[in-house]
Chains A and B, each alone.
Chain A
Amino acid sequence: MGRIEELKLELKNLGREYAKIKTLEGPERKAFGEKLNAKKSELLQKIKEAEDSAESESLESLDLTAPFSENAPKFEFKKGTKHPLSTELDLVAKIYREMGFSVIEACQLDDEFHMFDSLNFPKEHPARDGYDTFRTEEGFIPPAHTSTMQYRALTRFKSDLEKYGQIAVVVPGRVFRNEDVDATHEHTFYQCEGVFVSKTANLGQLLAVWKNFFETYYGQSLNIKTQPGFFPFTEPSLEFQIEKPSALGGKGDGWLEMGGCGMIHPNVLKTAGIDPEVYKGFAWGGGIDRLVMLKYGINDVRYFESGKLEFLKEF
């Protein structure tokens, strides 16, 4: 009989021991029960260890220092693929860097303060109550937008205000929404947030910066238009649209919604320790997935996180 079978037999016999418990009373019964339980978990652990080592039994140990296998030729690598979203995030960040923006990344588990308090959401704002926002048992929040990074961008680069007179940061990141998934909706997607602060920041600059980004990205001059929007962390708040670029088949008629933007709310600056009477700021944010979908004519957002090589080999 092998070691594992022996242990299993022992466990079986232990099971029979439990029958005795009926004959005992009070503290004796309790002590007996506890003893058997302890013995049982010890046996279960031993069985698991024995099974694990049995798994390795037929194997020989390796020379960790060798660069390749015995009797095998050296392996030649082929060409692989990059995920189109990563490629695009790199490109987006590159354009902003060249415009003079620093790049920091968003974190995937955040808290109430960064997601709501620091962004001027009132204490009882409906967004906090969890219908759209995920939450962990501890109350942490997988961010629903990259704006959760505004406070960090403002505080981390505050010294730039004194040194250079401005803060200029973009934040690409993965965000999450409690949303049913279909061809145009994903619960996991990517955004890029931009933040700019100076003594003279104004709405015209905001529109100019984002317009210039898209003109560089699409390699042509573009008309833009806006719609009034509403976000607690900016005021005025706007929705930003660009003319459909010719690369995407635009003929000067259609418009593409690219995201939300606005002048940073004074309360957001104040929370980050920046005097809103002296400094003004603007912020903007939009999705990356959609840029990629438009660029390559991808018609189903679910392909991105599907892990399917059939899809990825296209890029």
Chain B
Amino acid sequence: MLISLNELKSMVKIEISDNELFRLIGSRLVEIEHVEDLAPKYKKIYIVKVKSAEPIEGTHLHLCQIDAGKDLNAAIDPEHDGYIQVVCGAPNVKKGMFAVWIAPGAIVPATFGTSEEFEISARKLRGFMSFGMLAAADELALGSDHGGILSINPEHMLIDETGRARNIRPGDSFAMAFDLNDKIIEVENKSLTHRPDCFGLIGFAREVAGILDQPFSYVPTWVDINYDPRVATYRPLGDPDALKIHISDYSLCPRYEAYLFDIPGVSEHPENLLLDDIFLYKAGMRPVSPLVDLTNIIMLETGQPIHAFDYDKFVRISGGDRPEINVRLARKGEKLVLLDDKEIELVETDIVICSGDTPVALAGAFGGKSTAIDSSTRKIIVEIASFSLYNLRKTQMAHGIFSEAITRFTKGRPASDLSLAGEAVLKKFVYLGGELAGLATSTDPALIKNDRYLPNVVKITTPEINQLLGTNYPTDLIVRTLENVEFKIDELEAGVLEITVPTWRSDIHQKVDIIEEVGRLLGFDNAPLNFALRPFVCPVVEPLFDLKSKLRNLLSDRLGANELLTYSFVSKNLQEKSRENPDDSYKIINSISPELECFRQELVPSLLDKIRENEKSGFKDFALYELNQVSRKSWGLNNENVPEMKTHLGLTTFGDFYRAKGILLELEKSLHTKFTLKPLNSATFLEPLHSAGIYLGDEKIGELGEIRASVLKNFKLESTISAIELSLEPLLKIKPAKSASIKLSKFPFVSRDLTFRVPKDTAFEKIEEGIKTILSQNKALTYKLELVSIFRKANDDKKNLSFHLEVANLEKTLDSKAISDIIEAIVNHQKTLGAEVV
């Protein structure tokens, strides 16, 4: 939303610097995104009178002499009879008109601040010197009209430097004449979502007054002195039976007011630039026609969108002798042609304004073509209404309409806050030449009592306010702060306040709403910083969080793996490539793309998807891993009735089964536990013959192995890749194995290398266990046993397992006899297991 600083200054006394004001608005009302200073943009641009305009033969150009006041005339172009010579290409330039002149040295406003600023100069055109240029509207960054130069009413009034009002004169600054020495504040709409009142200049100015600790005392010139914003109905003027309103459901439209005006002959915008046009441009809008412009001006001032229908067209649609306004939901299949000639198909949540039963406007969003105001309009119906913001938000999204009106309606214009706009309509259409011919309203009876809206009343104490803010504000400061922005306050007893909320603050219902107002208007930053006292208890940290941290240290710092974070949602295609069943995934119905549709069931597929790209970047032989959440529909819901989630480790590494197993063994060691591997009848991405299930006790907690050839092919991978997919939650149950088995001997260790030749299918563990069994029989022994190599010749059906053994006796030095006995016992035992000694 764009706010003119000059407008604010006309409503509130501002005695601080502009920058300080912007800072205060930013910290106490709304984020300011940008401030545009218009003054430099309109520098060296003047009001001039065209003294003569002669066609230049053979061209569409005119040679003009213009009057820009004595001083400028003499300074710029001393040669031409006291006037300035300008060549002008516009068809509408004529002797006697007042126009806008961009002097040499000025930047064309439309290009100001862009990367291609265009500076006007004095130059020769068709052999004639031309000093500066007469400007069209678009060149002045006022709309897009380039049909001719802008024409100014010679009787246009301005306020001069001394503060006096007078008619314009040649040489007057354009900016001064049209209120363009202004700054435009662009505010962030999002943080005013709950403040419909701030979407009008008056409401915004009220907040500025509050921030500056001033009572807001601005009264628009058009407000009746007897006006009371809390009065819900008006004395009927004109003919009260001239209109009929029917609202199908007050929850869609709690209040609808319709004003009927006879207003002939004001349908065309005059050819001169008006101050009201500038008012609209500064708000980011543009003039259309006097009637439409007036509805927009009232909206910008009061925050209440207004719509005007052509009366005759409206009545013609329903037949009958007077308008029958019906407000209802659209029906399926209904269509409506909007003012911009687009036909839309209405949806069943759209609220429509109907003439009889025929939709003629999309409520709160866009007027309809069939009742549009045009040059033949002589009577109008002006609508002021409150609509359900939820329906309008749906309308906004369904039809992609982001008009100024719907932006305001979707903040929730309360039914109780229509009367200021009503006051404006009653006065301003009359100023424009209209005569009120009828007025009808329909209001949800639940909202009013004795013709008045029931105001919200909140009771609160000074300590309650200070406690939540951590402040020490005295009662009188609190009272003044709220009264500045027109809350009514009764101090029932010392520090006990009964606060009547203004009708426009539909967002304030309870104590905390009041506390926010006080804190905000006085500046949240003024709350003194203080610390809560902390009990000396250890905070709880979810064990899973620490486990992940520990695994990262191990995998990245010690095991050379690289941690990735990849998206939690993947494509069906990726799942199929990895032999997962997409039906078991939770699927996003409004996903950004099919690539992000299915919630992950496992992490390894996401990692497989990242290998090839990294290979292409020149990385070789790397391991990737991720620690993240996965879920499957078949796991069902947890006790909170949300999908059961598991946190997994997914890991891929170049190399065979044993590379991945090597990593698992290190994991085992650092977790002080022992996993069991069991053959896996896997239908997953793992190769069944080269993979294993990972078990902790009897519980299967993951899988490990080589990626299937067909899956590798799906991912365009050529090397052998192995993977681990492991659930972390079961690891939290691990109780570290007792370390009491460690025995340290003060006697020296003796080392021996042993190689056994065994059938190739013999499990290593069987041989290892065999050795340990013998060594454990003598309780006096302590030892370290390590497998050194597994060797097998090609096509050999036996393999050699070589061990390195270090053994010591806890009580004495081992002599050679004792060693031989131990080795012999081991060898003999191995022979019973089918091993040969090499």
Contact = CB atoms under 8 A, between A and B. Distances in A.
A85 B590 contact: no
Interface in A268-315: 280, 304-305, 307-310, 312-313
A78 interface: yes
A72 B656 CA distance: 11
A18 interface: no
Interface string B482-516: 00000000000000000000000000001011011
A219 interface: no
A175 to B, nearest CB: 10
Interface in B559-616: 559-569, 586-592, 596, 599, 606-607, 609-610, 613-614
A70 B799 contact: yes
Contact of B545 (A68, A105, A181): A105
A94 to B, nearest CB: 9
A244 interface: no
B193 interface: yes
Contacts of A85: 565
A71 B792 contact: yes
Given A109-B645, A200-B532, A312 B564 contact: yes
Given A65-B677, A307-B613, A59 B689 contact: yes
A64 B599 contact: no
B549 A90 contact: yes
B289 interface: no
Q: How large is the interface on B (under 10, 10 to 19, 20 to 34, 35 or more residues)?
A: 35 or more
A23 interface: no
Interface in A174-202: 174, 176, 178-181, 187-188, 196, 198, 200-202
Contacts of B194: 230
A307 B564 contact: yes
B534 interface: yes
B708 A55 contact: yes
B408 to A, nearest CB: 15
A226 B27 contact: yes
Contact of B467 (A56, A68, A135, A200): A200
Contacts of A105: 542, 544-545
A266 B467 contact: no
Contacts of B191: 227-230, 239
Contacts of A93: 541, 545
A266 B541 CA distance: 27
A114 B610 CA distance: 34
A180 B569 CA distance: 15
B526 to A, nearest CB: 10
A86 B552 contact: yes
Interface string A71-101: 1111101111111011000100100010111
Contacts of A207: 524, 527, 529
A20 to B, nearest CB: 34
B520 A109 contact: no
Interface stretch (A3-11, A29-37, A123-131, A245-253): A123-131
Contacts of B470: 202-205
B99 to A, nearest CB: 44
Interface string A111-142: 10010000000001010011100111110101
Nearest to A100: B534
Contact of B791 (A70, A114, A201, A309): A70
B219 interface: no
Interface stretch (B146-154, B445-453, B621-629): B621-629
Nearest to B591: A134
Interface in B684-743: 687-690, 692, 708-710
B524 A80 contact: no
Contacts of B431: none
Contacts of B376: none
B763 A137 contact: no
B27 A178 contact: no
A211 interface: yes
Contacts of B155: none
Contacts of B159: none
A114 B606 CA distance: 28
Interface stretch (B123-131, B167-175, B657-665): B657-665
B244 to A, nearest CB: 30
Contacts of A104: 540, 542, 545
Nearest to A170: B539
B528 interface: yes
A82 B393 contact: no
A243 interface: no
A227 B26 contact: yes
Given A228-B520, A307-B566, A75 B662 contact: yes
Nearest to B588: A134
Contacts of A187: 592, 596
B519 interface: yes
A82 B558 CA distance: 11
Nearest to B610: A307
A208 B709 contact: no
A200 B534 CA distance: 12
B468 A202 contact: yes
A108 interface: yes
Interface stretch (B28-36, B328-336, B337-345): B28-36
B689 to A, nearest CB: 5
Nearest to B655: A75
Interface in B167-193: 190-193
B234 interface: no
A86 B555 CA distance: 13
A82 to B, nearest CB: 4
Contacts of B477: none
B27 A309 contact: no
A136 B690 CA distance: 36
B557 interface: yes
B549 A80 contact: no
B752 to A, nearest CB: 19
Contact of B512 (A101, A107, A227, A265): A265
Given A62-B657, A209-B531, A107 B629 contact: yes
A310 B641 CA distance: 41
A208 B529 contact: yes
Contact of B563 (A60, A82, A176): A82
B556 A81 contact: yes
Given A109-B631, A140-B643, A305-B566, A82 B614 contact: no
A157 to B, nearest CB: 8
A61 interface: yes
B109 to A, nearest CB: 30
Contacts of B557: 79-80, 82
19 contacts: A66-B764, A69-B657, A79-B557, A79-B560, A80-B556, A80-B560, A81-B562, A86-B548, A100-B534, A136-B588, A205-B530, A207-B529, A208-B529, A226-B524, A228-B520, A236-B519, A305-B565, A305-B567, A309-B622
Given A80-B556, A80-B623, 14 more contacts: A55-B708, A70-B792, A72-B790, A81-B562, A108-B599, A109-B586, A109-B645, A111-B640, A166-B532, A203-B470, A203-B524, A203-B527, A209-B531, A263-B468
Interface of A: 51-52, 55-56, 59-75, 77-83, 85-86, 90, 93, 97, 99-105, 107-111, 114, 124, 126, 129-131, 134-138, 140, 142, 157, 164-166, 168, 172, 174, 176, 178-181, 187-188, 196, 198, 200-205, 207-209, 211-212, 224-230, 235-239, 263, 265-266, 280, 304-305, 307-310, 312-313
Listed from nearest, the 7 A-B pairs whose CB atoms lie closest are A204-B470, A202-B470, A65-B765, A307-B610, A78-B560, A236-B516, A124-B390
